[in-house]
Chain A
Amino acid sequence: MNSIILKTASRYLLPLLLLFSIFTLLRGHYLPGGGFVGGLIASIAFVLYAFANTLQDTKKLLKIHPGFLMPAGLLLSFVAGLLPLVVGKPFMTGLWFAEKVPVVGSIGSALFFDIGVYLVVIGASLTIIFTITESNQ
């Protein structure tokens, strides 16, 4: 697509959407939001950028292949699930720090699990969309 308006807007929309996706991710434990939705918003940000500019530019912007976000996210979620085993609780038990952190709120193993989901969703949806786009060119 060759629209100068979209091109200019996408440059500002990308960081905004990414910020919004992180906001959605963090508020997700008690309010609507979470890793899955956040991940989708983040991947929409990149897809929009790819629409306005080219796929190659977006790949350059990402630096790593989005496919690698999948194992990284899986690993993070997995470790977050394993942590309770160390203190002798069953797999996936929620562990929480007693004190609250400003801005973020309570931090627990569920947060890390959600970040993992966030990464997996970005990785998976970008891989799907990039592959489809590439096979059409």
Chain B
Amino acid sequence: MNTNLLILPIIMPLITAIVLLFFWFRPNRQKYISLVGHILSVLVAIPIFLEAMKGTILTMAVGNWAAPFGIVYVCDAFSGALVLLTSLVGLAVGIYSNAAIQSKRASYGYFPLVHFLLMGLYGSFLAGDIFNLYVWFEVIIIASFVLITLGGEKAQLEGAVKYVTMNLLASVIFLTGIAVLYGILGTLNLADLSLKVSESPHRALINATAILFLVGFGIKSAIFPLYFWLPDSYHTPPTPISAIFGGLLTKVGVYALIRIFSLLFIGDPFIRDLLSWIAVLTMISGAFGAIVSYNLRKIFSYLIVSHIGFMIAGLALFSPIAIAGAAYYMMHDIIAKTNLFLVGGTIYKIKGQLHIDRVKGLFSQYPYLSIVFALAMFSVVGTPPLSGFWPKIMLLKGSFAMDNMWIIVGILLATFLTLWAMVRIWSKSFWSTEANEEKTTGRYQEMTTSQRRLLIGPILFLLAISLFLGFGAGYVSQMCSLIADQLMDSDTYVNAVLGITNLPEIQN
């Protein structure tokens, strides 16, 4: 179905960012404008999501140049769900940053950059053209480069050097992949590529290109041998920024991997074996990193790496239930990881530090808040009936059906280690009483009630979504099986995109 609706998620953050740039010297007004922009983005994302969930694939040819010659934007159920989740996360982080971002940072363009970042995210989820995907990736990384260095502290700059280097390298590898693919097949449209890849006689070259894409996206999504930049950089910027990074940026890499490997390079046994090994090693090595770290935010960073493995496992198994599990896990992970970082930031605001041996007695000080934090933390583990539980069951079912024992071992071990990491935080920082430690406090105690609400409100909001993903499992898993059906059956995607040569609805 052809609709102009699809450009709106990209337009909304763009126009908000432009308006914000005009208010460069008035950071206080930027807060309100930014909030309005976030709300508008959610309002725009809802109809797209509802339409995509009916099973129709929405398309839009930019500039009225029909596919495969022009750039198309495509939204299937997977993209629709991700667009909605991105806008919700954007809203939550937007509210949180009103209380958490100091005006010094805001005056260096924090708010416009967040909107540019979100625009890049929406663009990558909707792009139906591989070069366009590259451009949106660049939009994301440019915005994220500035966000990660904003403030210019020593740790931030060092983290940024690693982050920038790895991302630039990933972009070059991705671009090389695009060049080779264009050289072999002469097209850039994903649907058209999907048709031509299966007919192409150059199997060896195409497989080599697949590896280029795997490495390029792998660096961005932090899979096993390529993730070392992530725990070194994600904990350095301020909380709202690492919340967006932790929740969404690596997921774009995973999204691109799932899209490319379900549409272009399907059924290659070597790549699927490789993916399943990568998945297992990512899960386990990330989880081990988490249990040996002491900085709260660093633990969370390692958990991001570990849980990327679950989604890669779904892609490696490539059966309907496994893909559905991966999509479910991705939705849960976007919400849960963002919330985790917001929780970490709030603990920092309360205690003024993040070392889990020194943060003490949270439960006796703030019992209700601690329960909320605990729910957010244990939904990441996947304690039933919280949201992480169901996708893991689906993934386990999928790997039993495929007889892939290593993935089962990996999932169980990584889940156990995640539980360990969380219990360690809980027993050290929440349950232990404040003994002889010097009592330190952060800025939370000086905050007014309304500012505190701005900190806690987004956490409750994301928690509510997370609980919905857990308790509304019937609805969500139906949604995910629709996503999986569409991803497994690339013909519907191809037909929907290439069938728009004569644009009937919009040519009046």
Direct contact of A and B (CB under 8 A): yes
- Chain B interface size, as a band, is 20 to 34
Quick check: A90 and B15 within 8 Å, CB to CB?
Answer: no
What A residues does B64 contact at CB under 8 A?
84, 89-90, 93
| A74 to B15 alpha-carbon distance, docked (Å) | 9
User: Closest CB-CB distance, A88 to chain B, in whole Å?
Assistant: 5
Quick check: A85 and B4 within 8 Å, CB to CB?
Answer: yes
What A residues does B61 contact at CB under 8 A?
90
Quick check: A90 and B63 within 8 Å, CB to CB?
Answer: yes
What A residues does B7 contact at CB under 8 A?
90-91
Q: A71-B18, A71-B21, A85-B4 are in contact. Are A91 and B508 (CB under 8 A)?
A: no
| A84 to B7 alpha-carbon distance, docked (Å) | 13
| A68 to B18 alpha-carbon distance, docked (Å) | 10
Is B24 in the interface zone, CB < 8 Å from A? yes
| A2 to B15 alpha-carbon distance, docked (Å) | 44
| A70 to B24 alpha-carbon distance, docked (Å) | 11
What A residues does B63 contact at CB under 8 A?
90-94
User: Closest CB-CB distance, A136 to chain B, in whole Å?
Assistant: 17
Quick check: A78 and B4 within 8 Å, CB to CB?
Answer: no
Quick check: A92 and B21 within 8 Å, CB to CB?
Answer: no
Closest residue of B by beta carbon distance from A76? B18
User: Closest CB-CB distance, A76 to chain B, in whole Å?
Assistant: 10
| A70 to B112 alpha-carbon distance, docked (Å) | 12
What B residues does A85 contact at CB under 8 A?
4
Q: A89-B506, A91-B7 are in contact. Are A78 and B60 (CB under 8 A)?
A: no
**Which residues of chain A in 65-91 are interfacial with respect to chain B, using CB atoms and an 8 Å cutoff?**
67-68, 70-71, 74-75, 78, 82, 84-85, 88-91
What A residues does B212 contact at CB under 8 A?
none
What B residues does A67 contact at CB under 8 A?
24
Quick check: B18 and A75 within 8 Å, CB to CB?
Answer: yes
What B residues does A70 contact at CB under 8 A?
21
Residue of B18, B60, B508 touching A88 (CB-CB under 8 A): B508
Quick check: A78 and B14 within 8 Å, CB to CB?
Answer: yes
| A25 to B507 alpha-carbon distance, docked (Å) | 31
User: Closest CB-CB distance, A114 to chain B, in whole Å?
Assistant: 14
What B residues does A94 contact at CB under 8 A?
63
What A residues does B401 contact at CB under 8 A?
none
User: Closest CB-CB distance, A120 to chain B, in whole Å?
Assistant: 11
User: Closest CB-CB distance, B23 to chain A, in whole Å?
Assistant: 9
Q: A90-B61, A90-B63, A91-B60 are in contact. Are A74 and B21 (CB under 8 A)?
A: yes
Beyond A90-B64, A91-B63: 20 further Cβ-contacts under 8 Å?
A: A68-B21, A68-B24, A71-B22, A74-B17, A74-B18, A78-B14, A78-B15, A78-B18, A82-B11, A84-B64, A85-B4, A89-B64, A89-B507, A90-B4, A90-B60, A90-B503, A90-B506, A91-B4, A91-B7, A91-B11
A contact set with B: CB distance below 8 Å: 67-68, 70-71, 74-75, 78, 82, 84-85, 88-94
- Could you write out 24 A-B pairs with CB less than 8 Å apart? A68-B21, A68-B24, A71-B18, A71-B19, A74-B14, A74-B18, A74-B21, A78-B11, A78-B15, A78-B18, A82-B11, A84-B64, A85-B4, A88-B506, A88-B508, A89-B506, A90-B7, A90-B62, A90-B503, A90-B506, A91-B62, A92-B62, A93-B64, A94-B63
B contact set with A: CB distance below 8 Å: 4, 7, 11, 14-15, 17-19, 21-22, 24, 60-64, 503, 506-508
